[in-house]
Structure 1
Amino acid sequence: MTTEPDKIELSEHELREIAGYAADCARRALSIFEENLPDDTRPRDAIDAADMFAGGGRRTAALRQSGWAAYRAAQEAASPAAVDAARAASHAAGAAYLHPKASAHQVKHILGAAAHAARAEELAAGEDQRVAAETLEWARHHAPASVTAVLSRLPAAPPGGGRVGEFIRDLDAALRA
């Protein structure tokens, strides 16, 4: 039986590009959250923190905390679309903490922001699947080379996760093709 390696190569440059990509994906759905909770800046703060890291900033406790704060904002949002928009922002900040582990779970860290943004936009459009497909297509076309390179070192996205998990698997397969 062949076993997968425990670790993958992951450069700082790749990590920064992945975080920037995740921030760009999450930003697409940010207005959905802000329309529902205009005074809550936690998702925007998480996206901004991911952008700062992508631009050369340090991985700090504040960056990690901004991701958790966006996650808490998702738990407090009343609209399902706003929930997924905040989760996209949380994933953007969390992308800076991708582990160099050869685990399918890491695929969620790379593509989670895009998948949650697609779900937020789909929900905001009354479950219009074409909207999600357009968002995922945008995410595929805007993925930097680092995203594809790191995905190629990981096992395919894992099963489960409902509609967001389906989006992660679809985007993963499209980026690997």
Structure 2
Amino acid sequence: MSEPVGPPDLSGAAAEFERIYRAHVGEITAYFARRTVEAQTVADLTADTFVQAIGSFGSFDPARGHARGWLFGIARRVFAQHCERTSRGRDTVVRLAGRRVLDVDETAELVARVDAERDGRGLVEAMTALPAGDREAVELVDIAGLGRGEAAAALGITLGALRIRLFRARGRLRKIVGEKS
């Protein structure tokens, strides 16, 4: 007789996801705070990132890369989708329908985080002169602090390609910053 098959024990996976969430939620929130000044949007994009991460956690393989790079890859896609929705001018009512209004403490915390990322936002704005791939490489390595391997995985490129992008982008940024001084 075989043993009855029941629902899988997700307590180990749930605990592991919670550990990953707690370790990286601040970095993911900061990533979005550099891109928008609206606290509610930062909260929504962060939540969307982790909702997508939960949905794909079963296929996450730590042998292929660190959770941090995996999460930043998801965050990049979430932000790209957000920009696409915004640029298409979809109905605001539809976008707002699922939002939870932040309480005063949560809003104050996110406003403080947005303010703390002001310098990072300034650099991101200066980086608009760079090609998208170079800009993303600098953002992930120099601003978000991902390791080169993690950033390469998040961008879906080789480590060598990432190094080339970083070298090229940093040179261009030094030139841009030098011209503005």
Instruction: Give the structure-1-normalised TM-score.
Output: 0.33
Larger radius of gyration: 2
Structure with greater helix percent: 2
